[in-house]
Structure 1
Amino acid sequence: MRIYNLLRSKEEKAVTTRTKAGAPPGTMVYTGHRQMEQVHMHLTQYHGDFLEVQTVEEDIPTPRTEEATLWYDMRGLHNLELVERLGKQYGMHPLALEDVVDVHQRPKMEVYEDGVLIVIKAFAFEPTTRDLSIEQVSIYLSESTVLTFQEDGGDLFRSVRKRLETSSGRIRSRGPDYLAYALVDNIVDKYFTVIDQIESELDKLEDTIMRSPEMSTKSQIHDLRLALLTLRKSISPLRELMNRFSDTESRQITADTQVYVADLRDHVIQITDLVETYRDVTNGLYDLYVSEISFRMNSVMQTLTIVSTIFIPLSFLVGVYGMNWDNMPELHTQYGYFVLWGVMICIILGMLAWFRSRRWI
Structure 2
Amino acid sequence: MSSTQKIQFANFIWLNLENPEEKDAAQLGQKYGFHPLDLADCLTQNHRTKIDIYQKYAFLVFLFPVYNEKTREIFGGELDIFIGQDFLITVHRGELKVFNDFFNIFRVSHDAREKYQDKSPEKLLYELLNRLFLYCFPMVDHLIMDSDRIEKAIFAGHERKMVSEILIIRRNITDFRKIMQVHKNVLKKAVVNFKENPIYVMKKTDVYFESLVDFSKEIWDAMDNLKERIEALQQTNESQISFRLSDIMRILTIISVITFPITLIATVFGMNTTHAMPFVDNPRGFWYVIGLMLAIIATMLGIFKKQKWL
State the shift of 1:300 in Å.
Answer: 1.5
Q: Give 1:241's match in structure 2, choosing from 183, 186, 191.
A: 186
Which residue does the alignment assign to 1:336?
285
State the shift of 1:103 in Å.
Answer: 2.6
Change (3 A) 1:98 1:353: same
CA contact (8 A) 2:66 2:95 kept: no
Change (3 A) 1:170 1:353: farther
Change (3 A) 1:314 1:330: same
In the alignment, structure 1 residue 126 sits paired with structure 2 residue 126: no
CA contact (8 A) 1:145 1:176 kept: yes
- TM-score w.r.t. length of structure 1: 0.72
Change (3 A) 1:340 1:329: closer
CA contact (8 A) 1:246 1:258 kept: no
Which residue does the alignment assign to 1:136?
78
Which residue does the alignment assign to 1:314?
262
Which residue does the alignment assign to 1:44?
7
Q: How many residues align?
A: 302
Q: Give 2:253's match in structure 1, choosing from 280, 298, 305.
A: 305
Q: Write out aligned runs for 1:152-301 (5 A).
A: 152=94, 155-161=97-103, 164=106, 165=109, 167=112, 174-210=119-155, 211-214=157-160, 217-248=162-193, 249-251=196-198, 252=200, 254-255=202-203, 258-301=206-249
Change (3 A) 1:190 1:153: closer
Pairwise CA RMSD: 3.0
Higher relative contact order (CA 8 A, sep 6+): 2
Give, in whole Å, the separation in 1 of the partners of 2:114 and 2:220. 28
CA contact (8 A) 1:93 1:112 kept: no
State the shift of 1:75 in Å.
Answer: 0.5
- TM-score w.r.t. length of structure 2: 0.83
Give, in whole Å, the separation in 1 of the partners of 2:151 and 2:69. 15
CA contact (8 A) 2:187 2:213 kept: yes
SS in 2 for 1:332: coil
**What is the CA deviation profile of residues 59-95 of structure 1, one whole-angstrom value per residue up to 9, with x for unaligned ones?**
xxxxxxxx25422111102x11112313543453444
State the shift of 1:261 in Å.
Answer: 1.1
Q: Which runs of 5+ in 2 are unaligned?
A: none
Change (3 A) 1:240 1:154: closer
Q: Give 2:297's match in structure 1, choosing from 337, 344, 348.
A: 348
Change (3 A) 1:267 1:172: farther
SS in 2 for 1:360: coil
